[in-house]
Amino acid sequence: MGWNYPDISLEEMMKLIKGFVDILILASGYQSSGLLAHWDSDNIKRAFHWALFFENVFRRLRSLDVYRESLEELDAALFEMASRPSFPQGLAHLSSATLRRARGYMLEHLLHNLPLRDSHLKAILTSTIEMDLSALSETEHDCLNAYLNKLTLQNRLCMGNLFTSSLDVTPTMETEDSGSDNFTKLAVQELFRRQSAVSCISTIEEGVNILSNAVRQSSWTESDCSLFREKMKHESLPALLQSADASVAVFTWNQWKSRALSYFLDKRTIRLVSGASLIFSGTKVQWGKVFGQLNFSEKDSNCDIHEAIELLLLGCIASRWNYIIEHLTSVSYDSVTISKQYHMLANSDFGKSQTFNQKEDIMKSKEAGILDFLMGLLGGQVHLLWKSSPALTAISLPSWSPLFRLYLSEIDTQFKGNPSTMRCCSCIQDWNEHKDCELAERIWCLYIFHVCGAQMIHGTCGA
Ligand SMILES: *[C@@H]1O[C@H](CO)[C@@H](O)[C@H](O)[C@H]1NC(C)=O
Ligand SMILES: *[C@@H]1O[C@H](CO)[C@@H](O)[C@H](O)[C@H]1NC(C)=O
């Protein structure tokens, strides 16, 4: 039987929905060119009318059993449309159920975009109130008074809920009967949701800030000091001198550790992580297009290739940020020398015997896509990776990737002082061991992530 709604054909309905999708994209704040979308109360009202239209149609379709197959047919067509790689990921769950609450959905997009400018908020509120006033004017003689009375009632209900702390700020996704809701109620709901999200974020930011300041101030931790003191007590002086000479000094170890932690806790890094996680949640075709449009060069500050590399590397670890912080805070000092660390890295057969479960496979293929792209961007200039934080490079390159091998072989070149396009330290010329130079730090980072934290690298503990 299929589609049997008399007023409009399925093709036409899909065309209208595509138009609605375009409005929703603009409602999220930006035009496809990346410029800010312009919204005034008139075009917001137009968008609201579209939303009302869809709600009415879909309520009707839903309420009568004869249209059940129509809805199924439409949902199949919507699913097909949303699965196309060019379809915006943020709207991927669009269905007849979403369209049945199109007003709330539209308001969600209008009110959750960042940043919510004053003029934008004012336009949304104006159109919200005007829509409700005009609906009331159909039944009420004095619609303004009627509106104010309803608003007072609504406010009282809302405050009551606040006091019993059961304010319902969850989206009305499942509630079937939001048909009686007005624009005002839906807008207030979304504003509460935005407010609670913002206060959540600022609490987290504050917490991370305190942590990051603490890390910066105390790179020499108490436990490591006492460990070292303990060691001094038990070992004879020559042995101690010997081991102190070859192994990484506690002070250096702690400096590297705090530098790595500070990088990951930095506000800028966290923003990049969240941006990367958003960008790479799309398909490779989508984010590839974004990066492909940029003309990277080492000199052009507008399209800094180093920032692009950083973003790609962060894209590989975005879902594992928590575990990285956890791991970094938990590794404690051990006295393995840099050259021993280097040999452990060089001789291990990373990943050769590994089997991945399905979740790991999906993550691996996503990472592989990002790393493939990075490989192309680097064009053989592995030394560009050395501009990124040593900890980031170490954790983001999985040992099964060709880039990891390349990075390791560059480390090898530097370690032995073989000819290379760059030289990261002067230890070899000065006849010194690599101990507290950049190369030593890079080896240390690889060591603590790939040797001491292998399960984290392979994402077995991450989501
Ligand atoms: C909106 O509708 C709710 C019921 O869904 C009602 O309690 C409230 O008073 C209404 N508010 C306005 C401003 O119409
Ligand atoms: C990219 O930038 C370089 C120099 O900055 C310029 O020579 C080249 O023509 C640009 N390519 C494109 C496609 O814009």
* CB distance 132 to ligand 1 below 6 Å: yes
Q: Mean pLDDT check: name the lowest of 193-197, 218-222, 416-420.
A: 218-222
Residue 144 has pLDDT above 70, yes or no: yes
Binned at pLDDT 50, 70 and 90, residue 382 comes out as confident
Nearest ligand 1 atom to alpha carbon 180: 5
Out of 291, 293, 294, 295, give the residue to mutate to test ligand 2, the one with the largest number of ligand atoms within 8 Å of its CB: 295
pLDDT tens by residue, 303-338: 688 888 999 999 999 988 888 888 888 887 887 788
Distance CA(239)–CA(230), nearest Å, equals 14
Q: Mean pLDDT check: name the lowest of 68-82, 169-183, 285-299, 419-433.
A: 169-183
Could you state, in order of their start, the residue ranges of all structural domains in the chain? Answer: 10-197, 253-462
Tell me, what's the pLDDT at 12?
Answer: 94
Token digits of residue 176: 């079937």
Residue pair 89/80 in contact (Cβ under 8 Å)? The answer is no
Q: pTM higher than 0.85, yes or no?
A: no
- 397 Cα to the center of ligand 2, angstroms: 29
Distance CA(91)–CA(89), nearest Å, equals 5
- 183 Cα to the center of ligand 1, angstroms: 9
- Across-strand partners of 30? 36
Residue pair 456/449 in contact (Cβ under 8 Å)? The answer is yes
Indicate the length of the chain as a whole number.
463
Looking at the CA of 303, name the nearest ligand: 2
Ligand 1, atom 5, residue with closest C-alpha: 181
- CA proximity to 435, closest of 244, 239, 228, 229: 244
- CA proximity to 129, closest of 192, 182, 181: 182
Tell me, what's the pLDDT at 342?
Answer: 84
- 101 Cα to the center of ligand 1, angstroms: 16
Binned at pLDDT 50, 70 and 90, residue 229 comes out as low
pLDDT tens by residue, 64-121: 888 999 999 999 999 999 988 778 878 989 999 999 999 999 999 999 876 788 999 9
Provide the sign of the torsion angle of the four alpha carbons 153, 159, 164, 169, taken in this order: positive
